[in-house]
Chain A
Amino acid sequence: GAGVSQTPSNKVTEKGKYVELRCDPISGHTALYWYRQSLGQGPEFLIYFQGTGAADDSGLPNDRFFAVRPEGSVSTLKIQRTERGDSAVYLCASSLKGGDNEQFFGPGTRLTVL
């Protein structure tokens, strides 16, 4: 079956612009995670959704970052007033129910802020 998909695969934007990153989880997976990965580092937790609600958003670095999952499937990570330090690979993962269920990652969106 289809895995987790993310669009776009690459996004180049200018400092100060707004960007939206999309994640399509595996069908039937209720849990969805967003991570950010910088070069040479492991993925950094941003936010976790169980269904439509954000169960844990403690990893969002500041109020420029926001994520939604209105119908409990597709999720969008939104970044306002982008800064050069936001440049990273943004990874989305889904799992059947969360907890200890295996997380299946998408290929990521590489965001470059000029």
Chain B
Amino acid sequence: RKEVEQDPGPFNVPEGATVAFNCTYSNSASQSFFWYRQDCRKEPKLLMSVYSSGNEDGRFTAQLNRASQYISLLIRDSKLSDSATYLCVVRRPGFKTIFGAGTRLFVKA
């Protein structure tokens, strides 16, 4: 079992749809959590950090449930430009950062 598991993709949604991605992690000592976005053949870029209290950045909302070791990302009012791979990322105590395999999102007109 991988340390960080994500929904298998791809997700195909129309513009304006709401889409949710799920992620689970197995190391209960994990300290920090993030969502990164990666466009095709490009480098990953930080989308947002994830906090237990939940956090929102425009159309994006991230949630963390430490008890269930579960992380989510909600995208509202999807845009064509949201098409990308979304990577769930967990930092262990110390420095090691573990990336999930990613979930591909295709937003269609």
Contacts and interface: CB of A to CB of B under 8 A. Distances in A.
B43 interface: yes
Contacts of A79: none
Contact of B96 (A40, A48, A103): A48
B96 A56 contact: yes
A16 interface: no
A28 interface: no
A105 B44 contact: yes
B46 to A, nearest CB: 5
11 contacts: A33-B97, A43-B87, A43-B99, A45-B97, A45-B98, A56-B94, A99-B32, A99-B91, A103-B46, A105-B44, A105-B45
Nearest to A4: B43
Given A100-B91, A105-B43, A59 B32 contact: no
B87 to A, nearest CB: 5
A99 B94 CA distance: 7
Interface of B: 4, 32, 42-46, 49, 87, 91, 94-102
Contacts of B98: 45
Nearest to A55: B95
Chain A interface size, as a band, is 20 to 34
Given A100-B91, A105-B43, A105-B44, A42 B100 contact: yes
Interface of A: 31, 33, 35, 40-45, 48, 50, 55-56, 58-59, 91, 98-100, 102-103, 105-108
B87 A42 contact: yes
Contacts of A35: 99
Given A42-B87, A43-B44, A103 B99 contact: no
B95 A50 contact: yes
Nearest to B6: A42
A42 B95 contact: no
Contacts of A56: 94-96
Contact of A91 (B43, B46, B101): B43
Contacts of B99: 35, 42-45
B101 A108 contact: no
A107 B41 CA distance: 9
